[in-house]
Amino acid sequence: MARLLIKTEGMNNQTLELRLGINQIGRSPECDFSINHPTVSVNHCQIVLSNDGVMIRDCGSTNGTFINGDPVREAWLLPGQTVNLGDVELFVESTDVNVAIPQFERDRPRPPVVLPDGMLVCPRHSRAQAAYRCTHCHEVMCSDCVHVLRFKGGEPHLLCPLCSHKCEPIPLLQPKKKKGLLGFLQDTVKLKFGPGRRKAKT
């Protein structure tokens, strides 16, 4: 990030690490960078750090703001320049601007649990059947998880809790009925005396 180094004796080589936006510099303790020197005004100048670079702006100081000995009201700073705020000398070490954009990783949907009868289980409610699926991220969910957006006089919209896209109902599978003893005997009789079998001649 952009920074300036105070070169004036007695200032302990203080470094000004600039922040994005306006950096107020002056003798006041309320400034972002307070420089306690009699030739520095209470609110001496502003150094603005943006994507375009580093700009210094004098705030009507008593003893003026100078770049390489030339008085300025507003100017862009470059590495290697010398800035004077009154009798305080600063060296421009860097004008780099690093804008870091944090990365957010969205939780990926976990694969649904499939029961032996083909039914899906809600990933967040292990005892609830998944009744809806997101059309975007394909997450499955139960009726308690899906977000319902209601409009007056219209049909409710079903939204995914992860990505807020549209959800659709999952077609329910009809479980196969187990045959009882009577059905088993009927199938056995059909196989034994079905129309395809002929009686043997005696």
pLDDT tens per residue across span 110-127:
666 677 766 788 888 888
Query: What pLDDT band is residue 12 in, cutting at 50, 70 and 90?
Result: confident
19 vs 197: which has the higher pLDDT: 19
Helix (H), strand (E), coil (C) string for the chain: CCEEEECCCCCCCCEEECCCEEEEEECCCCCCEECCCCCCCCCCEEEEEECCEEEEEECCCCCCEEECCEECCEEECCCCCEEEECCEEEEEEECCCCCCCCCCCCCCCCCCEECCCCCEECCCCCCCECCEEECCCCCEECCCCCEEECCCCCCCEEECCCCCCEEEECCCCCCCCCCCHHHHHHHHHHHHCCCCCCCCCC
| Residue carrying structure tokens 């992860």 | 162
118 vs 15: which has the higher pLDDT: 15
Per-residue pLDDT tens for 21-38?
A: 999 999 999 999 999 999
151-170 mean pLDDT: 80
174-200 mean pLDDT: 55
Whether 25 and 85 have beta carbons less than 8 Å apart is answered as yes
pLDDT at 186 over 70: no
Per-residue pLDDT tens for 65-86?
A: 999 999 999 999 999 999 999 9
pLDDT at 109 over 90: no
Minimum mean pLDDT range among 116-125, 141-150, 176-185: 176-185
The mean pLDDT value of the chain amounts to: 81
Q: What phi and psi values does residue 116 have, to the nearest 5 degrees?
A: -55, -30
